[in-house]
Structure 1
Amino acid sequence: MNNVTASLAADRTRQLRAAPTVLLAVAAVAAPFYFAPFQVFQLTMVLLYAVALAGLNLLVGFGGQISLGHGAFFAAGAYSTAVMLDRYDTGHLATLPVAAAGCFLLGLGFGVPALRLRGLYLALVTLSFAVFLPPLLKRLEPVTGGSMGLTVDKMQPPAWSGLAEDQWMYFVVLAVASAALLLARNLLRSRVGRALRAVRDNEGAAEVMGVRLSLHKTLAFAWSAMFAGVAGCLYTWVIGFVSPDSFSFVLSITLLAGLVVGGLASLYGPLLGAAFVMYVPSVSQDLSEAAPGVVFGLLIITVMFVAPTGLAGLPGRVLGAVGRRLPRTTAIPDRTPEAASAPDAEPRPTAAPGFSPTPAPADPAVADAEPVGAPPRTTEKE
């Protein structure tokens, strides 16, 4: 009976956890038919930022490593796609695996410093990568177009779809983002994800348990860079234009801030962080055209004060606060069910306070015997 009850409770828990995902999927499919083209464009940008943050979440949230150069991998995927479309007249869909594979290899090579560096030192090295990449792109003018950037054709919807350009682009990005988020979820539930958690929590204990630190640290950078490259490819598809100034080090800091605000080590954190990255700067611009950065920083401070674990952990924090405020009533039964159902037994005699009866020995020899461990008796001769 207990096993059946536990199984039913587990099924109900899984259903409750799956309900938000189902509702979110239905809303995502119906969204482009109820919003204006610009709002559909904003939702498309949220989806591609969510792909980049999902990769950053693997590295920072579950791997425990700090990266301030994620925007550089994002730029690498965007520029590789733009160069293939502009210089080599490649199809849009063919650029996606190339951008993903190229950034994966780039992440493998860049993951080597992660083997010897950690903390602020690793953050400084990754930040340097994000700082020197835009000037490098400007100097490679024959390939990247220099400071002027590259303009490419956007993906056009097929005639059979009956969709507008913004709607078709939204569904394409939604399909790629769904596949990327599902891949990230499966990675975290696999042996790789368990190894990343072990390395994050305690490297020494993880190594004793047989986890290869060098392999999994490098793979964390590689997977993270691959997701960023995919997001950069989608960015080129959606915008149709790339330039070095679009991928400054501010982008890397913004992505990291969005992940922290959304929620580290959370499956819904990248989506919430992507919405924060997309909408909050525009809201800050509307509130204060003179100093939008000040408003943006104050909003981040406010969110961190209200939800220290990120927006993904805010519902649990609210429910916990409500539960602590509810009155608690505990009733102590007079008799246990076993005692209530048992027949009345004869009461045992109780001794008076301060008196402990000792049974009289039956054998005089035993009564005259010395207790164990007592000192030997001494008799004085009169």
Structure 2
Amino acid sequence: MSDMGIRNSGMASNPASPTSDRVAAGASGTRPRRIGASWIAAAVLLVAACWAPFELAPFHTFQLSLAMVYAVALLGLNLLVGHTGQISLGHGAFFAVGAYTAAVMMDRWDTPYPLTLPVAAVVAFVLGIGLGIPALRLRGLYLALVTLAIAIFLVPLLKRFESVTGGSMGLTLDKPRPPAWSGLAEDQWLYFLALAVTVVSYLLVAGLLRSRVGRALHAVRDNEIAAEVTGVRPAFYKTLAFAWGAMFAGAAGCVYIWVIGYVSPDSFTLTLSITLLAGLVVGGLGGQWGPLLGGLFVMYVPSFAQDVNQAAPGVIFGLLIIAVMYLAPNGLAGLVGRAAHWLGFRVRKGRTHAH
């Protein structure tokens, strides 16, 4: 599909149409200001993230590292669910593929840990294509059931090949050690590795979504038939979305191994896939901040539920999800956006009264 075909699909010819108004607003500077505010917020958040490991206790630094790992995995799931409109209950399986790829390379072949990241991402990408092509004929609940089956049979499969995966006992690995020149403790070094992968992943996804490919993904999500009429190939882009989602999950699984230093099949049960999907929905589908907020949710809320009630943490976890969905139907990102809009309105109103 041509670039103009995607941009112009659905655009009314009436110059006074809402679409024209949005274009005019962008030309007058509204969109650049919004993008500028977003970049400022990202820069402030990055500075705070760089400062955090020097002020936090090692365990809290470890928790934030894991939250960023989950955020990278949710970036991939957001591409598939939030931006392409597909449903996946097997994202944890690709997370496990990346983790075991890195673990086997480090344990069996003594591969330097930086080299495991691209390999884990590529292996998950290829597997995503292999599983995405057969799933093209499926959608909705049928696709969800297929991806659910992937997550279910993965754990016994990993346990079966004990000579490679370590079976039920898993594999224990040496964590990446900080170089002498860095002057960092181990937890701080691992934190910055996770932060670097998170930042690069966010930049890659942002560039992808602003490209012609991103517009094609959104066209498939909004109306698959209309997208095909205008020249978009839904099968091609849905397969790519599946593969890209798997790739980011595989990269996240690799960094997970760096941070944890241990891998076992029981770490990647069906619960992980469901928790990741719940975290994305709670964080905010289709938004740029949704995966990050979802990663924080996946990391901290189960621990909070365990502290509240050790006998039934799942009940507390479920009730918290229901409460968040009731208070913020568009996710935490939508809630934060509305709060920021309200605060900006109050500030502008105060300036108006002052003058």
Normalising to structure 2: TM-score of the pair?
Answer: 0.87
Residue 94 of structure 1 corresponds to which residue in structure 2? Answer: 115
Q: Matches of 1:179 and 1:321 in 2, distance apart?
A: 31
1:10 deviation in Å? 4.9
Change (3 A) 1:322 1:150: closer
Matched, 1:53 2:74: yes
Residue 18 of structure 2 corresponds to which residue in structure 1? Answer: none
Residue 226 of structure 1 corresponds to which residue in structure 2? Answer: 247
Residue 88 of structure 2 corresponds to which residue in structure 1? Answer: 67
Consecutive aligned runs of 4 or more in structure 1 exceeding 6 Å deviation: 319-325
Conservation of the 8 A alpha-carbon contact between 1:51 and 1:180: yes
Q: Matches of 1:90 and 1:72 in 2, distance apart?
A: 23
Conservation of the 8 A alpha-carbon contact between 1:82 and 1:242: yes
Change (3 A) 1:272 1:319: closer
Residue 85 of structure 1 corresponds to which residue in structure 2? Answer: 106
| Aligned partner of residue 181 in structure 2, secondary structure | coil
1:7 deviation in Å? 4.7
1:286 deviation in Å? 1.2
Bigger shift: residues 58-67 or 9-18 = 9-18
Q: Matches of 2:178 and 2:241 in 1, distance apart?
A: 36
Matched, 1:313 2:337: no
Matched, 1:301 2:322: yes
Matched, 1:131 2:162: no
What is the correspondence of 1:1-382 to structure 2 with a 5 Å cutoff?
7=28, 9-318=30-339
Q: Matches of 1:246 and 1:26 in 2, distance apart?
A: 32
Residue 19 of structure 2 corresponds to which residue in structure 1? Answer: none
| Aligned partner of residue 180 in structure 2, secondary structure | coil
| Aligned partner of residue 138 in structure 1, secondary structure | helix
Which residue identity does 1:303 align to in structure 2? V
1:177 deviation in Å? 1.1
> 1:238-268 CA distances to partner (integer Å, 9 max, x unpaired)?
1111000000011000000000000000000
Which residue identity does 1:117 align to in structure 2? L
1:324 deviation in Å? 11
Change (3 A) 1:9 1:170: same
> 1:175-233 CA distances to partner (integer Å, 9 max, x unpaired)?
11110111011111111111110001111100011001111011011000000000000
Using the aligned pairs only, state the percent identity. Answer: 67
Q: Matches of 2:282 and 2:119 in 1, distance apart?
A: 31
Q: Which runs of 5+ in 2 are unaligned?
A: 1-23, 347-355
Conservation of the 8 A alpha-carbon contact between 1:114 and 1:217: no
Change (3 A) 1:288 1:211: same
> 1:79-129 CA distances to partner (integer Å, 9 max, x unpaired)?
010000111110000111110111100000010133100000000000000
| Aligned partner of residue 226 in structure 1, secondary structure | helix
Bigger radius of gyration: 1
Q: Matches of 1:10 and 1:180 in 2, distance apart?
A: 24
> 1:262-281 CA distances to partner (integer Å, 9 max, x unpaired)?
00000000000000000001
Change (3 A) 1:63 1:11: closer
1:16 deviation in Å? 2.3
Change (3 A) 1:126 1:11: closer
Residue 367 of structure 1 corresponds to which residue in structure 2? Answer: none
More helix by share: 2
Provide the aligned C-alpha RMSD in A: 2.0
1:11 deviation in Å? 4.6
Change (3 A) 1:15 1:323: closer
Q: Which runs of 5+ in 1 are unaligned?
A: 326-382
Which residue identity does 1:266 align to in structure 2? G
